[in-house]
Copies of this chain bind each other. A is one copy, B any other.
Amino acid sequence: MQTTRTTTDTDTPESAAYTPTDRTVPTRSRDRASYDRETVHAVLDEAYVCHLGFVRDGAPVVLPTLFARVGERLYVHGSTGSRPLRMAGDAQDGAADPGIQVCLTVTHVDGLVLARSAFHHSINYRSVVVHGTAHQVTDPEEKRAALDALVDHVVPGRAADSRPANAKELAATAVLRLDLNEVSAKARTGGPHDEPEDMGLPHWAGVLPLRRGYDAPLPSADLAQDIAAPDYLPGL
C-alpha cells in the first residue's frame, strides 16, 4: 500500500512504510515485523532512552542515550569529547564528515508471558531498530532545534519553559543526526502459545502486564516555594 503523506520537516511525499532491506527483515518471526511509519514513530516517541550501537576497534559498543525524533530524523547528543561523537567527526580540516555507522534500538517491555511449558515463556514487547550512518550536525539552527527536541522528547512542552542553551553550552554539545531510512518495528502481543498436549497441566498461564509508573515529582531543595510542579509533567 503506497499512500503519500508529508512529514513535518520536509515537503517530500513519502510512502506510509519504510522499504524493507536485508538488515531489517528478521530471520524468524517475520510476522512480528512492521515497516509502518506511524508504528515506528509511536514506539520511538514513547521511549526515554535508546541503545546506540557502534563499532570501535572492530568490536561492538552499545551505550544508552537520550534521543529525539523530528519528522524522519533522529538526534542524539553528547559531550564533544564522548567517543561516538568524536568518531563521527574524525575527518576534520575541511574533509567531509565521514559519519559513523550505528544501530539505534528502542524497546518497550509490555508484559511477561507465562506458558505451561518453560519453552513457550516469552515477553510482550515493542521494539524499533534503525540502521544507518549518523552525522554531526553543524548547522547552528538545526543544532538548536535538535537540542530543543531532546528536551521536549523527555517532557513535551519543557523546552519553552527552561532557559535556552547559550553559546558556550551549544559549543560544548555535539549532536548526531540519523535519518530514518532502514528501519523496522517488531512486536509481540497476546497470551502464551502452549502445545496442545500441555493444556491440561496444572500451571497458571497468562500475561502479567507491565506499565510505566510515575511517582510524585520531587522539587529541588533550593526551589522557591511558590513554583509549583508544571501541569505538563506526565503522571500529574
Question: Which residue numbers of A lie inside 8 Å of B, CB to CB?
Answer: 23, 27-28, 48-49, 51-56, 58-64, 66, 79, 81-83, 101-105, 107, 109, 112, 114-119, 121, 123, 125, 127, 129, 131, 147-148, 150-151, 154-155, 158-159, 161-166, 169, 173, 191-192, 194, 198-199, 201-223, 227-230, 233-235
Contact = CB atoms under 8 A, between A and B. Distances in A.
Max chain B CB contacts within 10 Å: which of A63, A115, A212?
A63
6 contacts: A61-B129, A61-B131, A64-B127, A115-B162, A161-B204, A204-B217
A81 B27 contact: yes
A115 to B, nearest CB: 7
Contact of A169 (B23, B58, B119): B119
A218 B209 CA distance: 8
Contacts of A155: 112, 114, 208
A165 B53 contact: no
A103 B60 contact: yes
B102 A60 contact: yes
B55 A51 contact: no
Contacts of A55: 55, 58-60
Nearest to A207: B218
Contact of A218 (B107, B191, B223): B191
B215 A209 contact: yes
B59 A62 contact: no
A39 B191 CA distance: 34
A218 B206 contact: yes
Contact of A62 (B117, B125, B129, B163): B129
A100 to B, nearest CB: 9
B62 A119 contact: no
B62 A104 contact: yes
A207 B211 contact: no
Contacts of A235: 208
A203 B221 contact: no
